[in-house]
Chain A
Amino acid sequence: MKSFFESKGFRELLRIVLAVTIGLALGFIITLFVSKDPVGAYKSFLLGPISRLNRIGDWLEESLTLILLGLVICIVFGASQWYIGVEGQMVLGAMAAGCVALYVPIPPLPRILLAFLAAMIVGALWGLIPALLKAYYNANELVTSLMMNTVALKIFEYILKAFIMTPKSRSISSELIEKPFRLPTFIPNLPFLQGIREIWMKQTSVTIMVYIVIAAVIIVYYLLYKTPFGYELRTVGLNTKFAHYGGINVKRTIIMSILVSGLVAGLAGAHLTLAIHNKIISNMTSGLGFEGINIAILAGNNPLGVPIAGLLYGYLRAGSDVMERSSDVSRELVFVIQAMVLLLVTAERLLPTIQKRVADIKENSENGTNGKPDVKNVKEGDSHVA
């Protein structure tokens, strides 16, 4: 048991738990300053999502999007590509899925499948330009992908306003996708589940995306850790030069990492149109662009950790919505908390530094009998310098 508490995994876990706790505490301190009823506001933030069935549904739906975005970042950050063009890929994927679901005149099942396919292909293709520029000419992918995001958002808005929006619609959106072309609920239509299914369907609209997302998590994990491609990708991520000398086609790996991540980003877009909004609507992806990074980092860049991190942040987001509706604190508080958690989780040296301090204090109080500063830990932290 002792060895577990000293293991690296436990330290990682401790760091994450600590970071989230500090982040939430900071959020509460901020709430104390700005709210007339801080306890009530924070209570609605922390307990809101599980207080009603429909809110649980909202939480799950939100989490599904976030899990997909986390997977996207796992793939590209795994190859050490600072590619954050996921918002552009997602929004165009959403557009493609919506267009197929609205306008292609084929029966429901092939139409939905085609919608998914279109979203994923469009998502992947949109990553092509930054990917080629990075792989062949080493152009800074962070800046190019961000610029491409803005371009994608503008194109989305243009297509929506010029071709899809009907004159009679009051908001900037398409018509609703007709019932048969939406995704069915995730509880199968079996006799003994009938009761649950009816209650659930009345309150929420969580769809079979649940299964698709679970499959995506497993596939991405398998891809990264059990296939030659994943091995190459992670080797490039650790050390590009080493990968090159080891005979790995670095260029191809970089391009493929971004394209594969684009497939998942497109899937997230399809989820937005086919499951959450049921139409193409302006500002679909607002505030989602950087969520993937939060989640992937919290999950230690491991696809199997992503669902947990996604559910946690989905919970915080859903909670912040409840808080905004039921109190005087706005939902943007959650971004500040997330940013703090992000900094704390990635602070390699923070825990060793604290441990050293504690050890020093111990040493002083015990007159240097027992508590030497933890030199080993500090060294370990040093070796991670990027």
Chain B
Amino acid sequence: MSLETVIRSIFSTLFLASVIRISTPIIFPAMGGLIAVVTGVPNMALEGIMNVGAFVGVMVSAYTGNVWLAILAGIVAGVLMALLLGLFHIYFKTNLFIGGLAVNLMASGGTVFLLYIMTGDKGNSASVKSLSVPNWEIPFFKDIPFLGDVISGHPVFTYLAFLSVILVYIFLYRTRFGTHLRAVGENPEAATTLGIDVKKSRMIALAISGVFAALGGMNLSMAYLQFFQKEMAAGRGWIGIAAVHLGARKPLGVLFASILFGFADAISNQLGSLNIPSQLVQTIPYITTVVALAVFAIQQRQAALERMKRYQKEHLEAISANASKAE
């Protein structure tokens, strides 16, 4: 394929649709990470929880033949993993980073261990017949020429992901409990004096982030592909955390950051058909993440410097004003 066709394909409806589809498994963990971060317990186990969710969803769907039961089971498994981290961090004072890495280790080892027992294969679950979630043709929109092709016909998870951004926004900023969570994240001592149970709030925040991460994982194994694969999340949990930083911890910002990363991923998929070595093309999403984090960090730094300068200037003005008054 020539460069021209690739460029043309990037401006096609198919490509835009693929950006939406590929962003989904980043939006989910990013939203989960967001809720955990604003409550002051950055969930470093998102990656592992995604793997667990992906695995449990596939296996339960294969054994019960019921997609919705499978999704429920995946969510429960994700919540349990998140609560394991919460138990150790909040009640036994395990360092959050190390606890998160431990849960990730347990997830990647545990899923392969169980996969081997259940299917006799260590790489993927293709040998068992698992189900995938249905796609949704939006009744009216699907007939609109351009828009219909882009936004209609995705797996239901995709719509759930975009809906969840709105839900998370309402939850964090318009509900009593969400406000409590943010208070816990900003100043736990003050929250305690207001009668908020900090430990319980953090456990609940982690549990919610577990739900989102599990959904993100199942989106990979039950919508994007139709089987479970070893280390299926492939860094998306971490990219989700990067999206939380990049989106300045605001739901809408995090959504845009996730879509940016989804875009990079989709570009790398498109370029894969060119005559460029596939391994190098595959690094694009990860390099994008590093660059984005760097740009964001530099901006933050400059903003902080400017704030400081402004403050100093105001301070000096105030001093000189006082001095002139005194005269």
Which residues of A line the B interface, CB within 8 A?
A: 34, 82, 84, 129-130, 133, 136-140, 142-144, 146-148, 150-151, 154-155, 157-158, 161-162, 290, 293-294, 297, 330, 332-336, 338-340, 342-343, 346-350, 353, 381-382, 384-386
Contacts and interface: CB of A to CB of B under 8 A. Distances in A.
A210 to B, nearest CB: 28
Interface string B286-327: 110110011011101100000000000000000000000000
A339 B106 contact: yes
Given A82-B97, A143-B241, A346-B95, A338 B279 contact: no
B92 A137 contact: no
Contacts of B293: 133, 139-140, 143-144
A158 B235 contact: no
A330 B84 CA distance: 24
Interface string B243-276: 0010000000000000000000000000000000
Interface string B83-121: 010001001111111110111111011101100110000
B294 A137 contact: yes
Q: Which range holds the interface residue count of chain B? A: 35 or more
Contacts of A162: 277
Given A343-B102, A384-B93, A333 B113 contact: yes
A386 B241 CA distance: 19
Given A330-B116, A335-B106, A342 B290 contact: no
Given A129-B290, A143-B289, A347-B88, A342 B122 contact: no
B280 interface: yes
Binding site of A, secondary structure by majority: helix, strand, loop or mixed? helix
A177 B172 CA distance: 59
Interface of B: 44, 84, 88, 91-99, 101-106, 108-110, 112-113, 116-117, 122, 234-235, 238-239, 241-242, 245, 277, 279-280, 282-283, 286-287, 289-290, 293-294, 296-298, 300-301
B110 A346 contact: no
Contact of A386 (B96, B245, B300): B96
Given A150-B283, A332-B110, A34 B238 contact: no
A386 B92 CA distance: 12
Binding site of B, secondary structure by majority: helix, strand, loop or mixed? helix
Task: From B44, B109, B239, B287, name the one whose CB has the most chain A CB atoms within 10 angstroms.
Answer: B109
Given A143-B241, A339-B106, A386-B95, 4 more contacts: A133-B294, A140-B242, A144-B289, A147-B239
Given A150-B235, A346-B95, A330 B298 contact: no
Contacts of A335: 105-106, 108-110, 113
Nearest to B110: A336
Contacts of B93: 347-349, 381-382, 384-385
A343 B94 contact: yes
A144 B290 contact: yes
A342 B103 CA distance: 9
A142 B283 CA distance: 18
A347 B92 contact: yes
B117 A347 contact: no
B290 A338 contact: no
Contact of A139 (B113, B238, B294): B294
Contacts of B290: 129-130, 133, 144, 147-148, 151
A338 B105 contact: yes
A137 B102 contact: no
A130 B108 CA distance: 25
B289 to A, nearest CB: 5
Given A142-B44, A143-B242, A332 B94 contact: no
B113 A336 contact: yes
Contacts of B116: 330, 332
Contacts of A338: 105, 109
A346 B301 contact: no
A342 B95 CA distance: 10
Nearest to A385: B93
A143 B293 CA distance: 9
